[in-house]
Structure formats: C-alpha cells, structure tokens
Amino acid sequence: MSDMLRRKAEHLDVVLTQNVKTDQSTGFEAVRFEHVALPELHLDEIDLSAEFLGRRLNAPFLISSMTGGPDKAELINENLARAAGQLRIAFAVGSQRVAVEGDGASGFGPELRQFMGDMPLLSNFGAAQLQRADAADMAQRIVDMIGADALIIHLNPLQEAVQHGGDHDWSGLLARLEDIVRAVTVPVIVKEVGSGISGRLAKRLYEAGVHIIDVAGAGGTSWAAVEAGRAPNERLRAIAETFRDWGIPTARAIVDVRAACPDAVVIASGGIRNGLDAAKAIRLGADIVGQAAGVLPAALSGVDAVIAHFEDRMTELRIACFCTASRTLQDLRQAPLLS
C-alpha cells in the first residue's frame, strides 16, 4: 500500500474510533428562533426544495466530502450516491487524488453518476496539488472520471501544517486557482475542511471567479485532532493537539461570507448536527447545508441507513419551518430571531 493510501485509510479509522471533535462551538447555540405559536399552515405543505447548480433538490442538503481511502471508499461512495439519488439531494466525493495517481478507480468510477441520476455530483481536489504543472489537466480528469457537475477545491492548510509529511508550499495558489476556474468545464467550489473561510478570503475567491463557497467552519471534526490521532510520535501529536480548537465558528463564517459575497452560493458545513442546525444556517445566509462525519456511520451501514438519516434531518428542518411559520426556505430566511 502506498503512503497516500495508508494515510487515507488511517484518516478514516481515526475519525471512526477516536475523539476528533473540536471543543469549540459552531455558534449555532446562540441563534434562537422566535417561536410562532399559531403558524397558520399545514406541516405537510412546507416546501423544503432548493436550487443548486441548476437542479431542483428535494431539500437543501449536500452529503459533504468524506474519504478518498482505499478499502472502504467504494462501499461508502456507492451507499452515499445511491441514497443521494433516491433522496434527490447533492453529493460531494472525497479527494480523488488517490484515484488519479493510483492504479484503480478507488471507488470513484462512472457508476456514481448513474446512481445519482440528475442530482448534483461534485468532484474533489486538494488545493496543495494546484502547485503541480499538470494541475489543470488533473482537475478536468477528476471531473470527467465521475461525470461531475462541479469541482471542489478543498483548503486544508492547518491539516497539512501539522501532518507528518504534509504539503507545506501554499504560495501563489490564488493565481493557480484562477487558472483552474478558467480551464475546467464546470463551476469551481472552494471549501475548507473544518477551520472556516472568512469574509475577506471569500471576497478574494469570488473576485477570482469562485462563486460557490463552502465555509466548512469550526465546531465539528478537527483535522488537527485527526492528524494528532495518527502522529508518529508524541512531539508531533502535541503540536497537532495545540490546534484542535483552531478556526472560525461555522455560524460566524456563514454570516461573514454572506455579507462579503451577497451574490455567492453559500454552503454551510462544519458541525451541522441536525435539521435545526440546518435551519439556523439557512437563516444566517446559507443556501445549502452540508454534513459529512455525522452521516459516516450510516454510510458504512448501507443505503437505507443513509436515507433514514437524512429523512430525519429533513423532518427536523420541516418542524423548524413550521414553528417559525415558514412555508418555504425563503420564508425561513426572514424568520424573526430572539435578540
């Protein structure tokens, strides 16, 4: 097994078996809706549908990027893609670098497009790989590999900084990102992996042609903690643990990115626990809400488990709409908050 494949496998094992949650809050607990005791609508009439990448989703949910690892990736991706297609929500795969540089598809084959039907399917590529001379060609290859509707470039400088053997050269990447935006045939999405995106950076990204931004804020999985969990020695483990709580809380990132980029599509992820968190994220300015680690156990269980997981999140979101007298998500965006 190559070092990259081993690292991906270790990441998944650490997430599943160790405490890798940040101790920092998402900030959603400070957001409270004003309860409407007389909503004047039928619960079943509430419309949760949302537009994303020119498609109509049944609910504003994205199954966020998880793993590009070897042994379980095929099972995980198939379960998630089949569930997303049946639920009619979006799905983003994990980093496809392992498939591009390896000998096999590693769970990233064209069948994912078939499982998804016409729902949005997103490719994934690490920002550090933009330093490669063939970055534009590689980016298009990973899009074509699964017939993706958009390309995610994920930002993980903290993870790379604390990772043994991580990618440390992040110079000049904004210009390389602009090159990718011009080169690929699908929209580019930029996301963090759990430390958040600021309004200032979001504005620079928007001006570079990135009009879909996934804030992926702090409050959920800490990738510094994940790297601490697989560090080869105690010194590196201690350094990584120092940054377990680093980052911009998800709620703050949503507000700041929306203020800086009023016309952008904003995806909220990072510690989204349930449909009520999703409702709060939408109220703060998100268009779509992503969840990753929270659905991972279901992804390992099977398609039905993933479907049940998101049906429960949809029910929670619907109840939040009902109790704020919000017939649609647009109404929810205007729902009064307690001061």
In this prediction, residue 299 carries a pLDDT of 92
Count of domains observed in the chain: 1
Amino acid identity of residue 248, one-letter, is I
46 part of a folded domain: no
Q: Which distant-in-sequence residues (6+ apart) come within 8 Å of 330 by Cβ?
A: none
42 part of a folded domain: no
CA proximity to 284, closest of 250, 240, 235: 250
Distance CA 30, CA 125 (A): 34
CATH number of the domain bearing residue 110: 3.20.20.70
First-to-last C-alpha distance (Å) of the chain: 55
Element (H, E) at 247: none
308 part of a folded domain: no
Q: Are 120 and 91 in contact (CB under 8 A)?
A: yes
Distance CA 301, CA 60 (A): 23
Q: Are 184 and 136 in contact (CB under 8 A)?
A: yes
What phi and psi values does residue 107 have, to the nearest 5 degrees? 85, 10
Side-chain half-sphere exposure of 111, counting CA atoms within 13 A: 12
179 part of a folded domain: yes
Amino acid identity of residue 303, one-letter, is V
In this prediction, residue 71 carries a pLDDT of 63
DSSP state for residue 58 in the 8-state scheme: S
- Predicted TM-score (pTM) of the model is 0.95
Q: Which distant-in-sequence residues (6+ apart) come within 8 Å of 275 by Cβ?
A: 312, 313, 314, 315, 316, 317, 318, 319, 320
In this prediction, residue 44 carries a pLDDT of 97
10 part of a folded domain: yes
In this prediction, residue 108 carries a pLDDT of 83
320 part of a folded domain: no
- Residue 174: give the domain boundaries: 3-31+59-303
Distance CA 321, CA 48 (A): 9
Q: Are 90 and 84 in contact (CB under 8 A)?
A: yes
CA proximity to 66, closest of 86, 84, 80: 80
Q: Are 61 and 94 in contact (CB under 8 A)?
A: no
318 part of a folded domain: no
Beta-ladder partners of 198: none
DSSP state for residue 323 in the 8-state scheme: T
Per-position pLDDT tens, the chain of length 339: 566 666 667 777 777 788 888 989 999 999 999 999 999 999 999 999 999 999 999 999 999 987 655 567 788 999 999 999 999 999 999 888 877 776 555 678 889 999 999 999 999 999 999 999 999 999 999 999 999 999 999 999 999 999 999 999 999 999 999 999 999 999 999 999 999 999 999 999 999 999 999 999 999 999 999 999 999 999 999 999 999 999 999 999 999 999 999 999 999 999 999 999 999 999 999 999 999 988 999 999 999 999 999 999 999 999 999 999 999 999 999 999 998
CA proximity to 270, closest of 49, 7, 89, 22: 22
CA proximity to 208, closest of 231, 175, 237: 175
Distance CA 134, CA 147 (A): 20
In this prediction, residue 105 carries a pLDDT of 59
Q: In angstroms, what CA-CA distances link 53 with 100, 102, 203?
A: 25, 30, 20
In this prediction, residue 2 carries a pLDDT of 60
